[in-house]
Structure 1
Amino acid sequence: MKPVRTAARAMLASIFVAGGIRVLLNPDASAATARRVTDRVGPLLEKVDPRIPTDARSLVRIKAVSDVAAGLALATGHFTRPAAALLAAGLVPATVAAGRQDALRNLGLLGGLLLAAVDTEGRPGLRYRTSHAVDRSQRSMRRAVRSAKRDARIAAMSASAARRLPG
């Protein structure tokens, strides 16, 4: 399953790496499309921190850099779950900005990214491991209590028997 998973991640990441590089080389083409979203988000970003760039060209370049970095991380198998989550989060405003023309394609990409974001590669997830660790520790504690009670009974019987012996 590992070769299939590796190939699928590389194929999924390739569109983001290639698209990010294309936008970095020519950000003005994408900035015009992104203005639908950046004009609404810009005032909110200014309220959060005035140092954050709010113009469409800068925001498109920031997204392109994050797409390339996260795409490379996903393709190489490093930080795959956070990288997929970052790409999925960036895909939502891109879909809104692009409108109907890329909506279905982006919806398919979003589905693949969501699968990659929750993929544990066949290993149990954190929730499973935590709940099972709690169960194991509770069982271990119950065994220890039973063992301590049994040892206490044996010690009490030994002490009682020792008192009855002469001498």
Structure 2
Amino acid sequence: MSVSRLIARPLLAAGFIYGAQSALRNAEAFATKASPVADAVVPKVRNAGVPLSNNPETLVKINAAVQIAGGLALATGKAPRLGALALSASMVPTTVAGHPFWSESDPAVKKTMQMHFFKNLSMLGGAIIAAGDTDGKPGVAWRARRAAKDARRETKHVTKLAGAKLG
């Protein structure tokens, strides 16, 4: 693992873990903010066949647990890509519910919410980059293309041999 990954992964994870522990400690207050998003998203998720609580406080706690687990996976290097993917997914509802600057009328509060909204987008971008980071090793897409190329080459070789034996 490169030094930059050794340093960057825990630094990125720290923001998620810190925010998640804050959400766990103040789940009731966070649930108030999460309610509008939960009311809009939960029915759609349930329609897709996924059983999900409609209690905003429970959802806040689940989201915080995902962020802690994802952050630890990323920080420790144990399944960092999966951890980063989980962090990416959890960041969308966190950002929309936590910082709806578009509905704020007080200019000072709106500006603060915008700053936190865009900070969260930056964290989301970092998590997306980390989710795609193969640590210099070939990724799944490259391996699949390589396997298909090798299979085509082998098929041509076998066809050529079969043609030579028949001829």
Assess if the C-alpha contact under 8 Å between 2:17 and 2:68 holds in 1. yes
Structure 1 residue 150: deviation in Å? 5.4
Identity over aligned pairs, percent: 35
The 2-side partners of 1:4 and 1:62 are apart by 30
TM-score (normalised: structure 2): 0.78
CA distance in 2, matches of 1:39, 1:79: 32
The aligned residue for residue 142 of structure 2 is 128
Number of the residue aligned with 2:128: 114
**Native 8 Å contact 1:45 1:54 kept in 2:** no
* TM-score relative to the length of structure 1: 0.78
Q: Flag structure 1 segments of 5+ consecutive residues without an equivalent.
A: 154-167
Q: Secondary structure at the match of 2:52?
A: coil
> Which letter maps to 1:139?
R
1-structure distance, mates of 2:45, 2:157? 57
What residue number does 2:19 align with? 19
Contact 1:42 1:55 in 2 (8 A): no
DSSP 3-state at the match of 1:130: helix
- How much is the aligned-residue C-alpha RMSD, in angstroms? 2.5
- Flag structure 2 segments of 5+ consecutive residues without an equivalent: 102-112
Q: Residue 42 of structure 2 contacts residue 52 of structure 2 at CA under 8 Å; is this kept in 1?
A: no
Shift of 1:24: 1.4
Q: Would the alpha carbon gap of residues 13 and 145 (structure 1) be closer, same or farther in structure 2, given more than 3 Å must change?
A: same
Tell me if the contact between 1:46 and 1:54 (Cα under 8 Å) persists in the aligned partners. Answer: no
Paired residues in the alignment total 153
2:69 paired with 1:99: no
Q: Distance in 1 between matches of 2:44 and 2:141?
A: 35
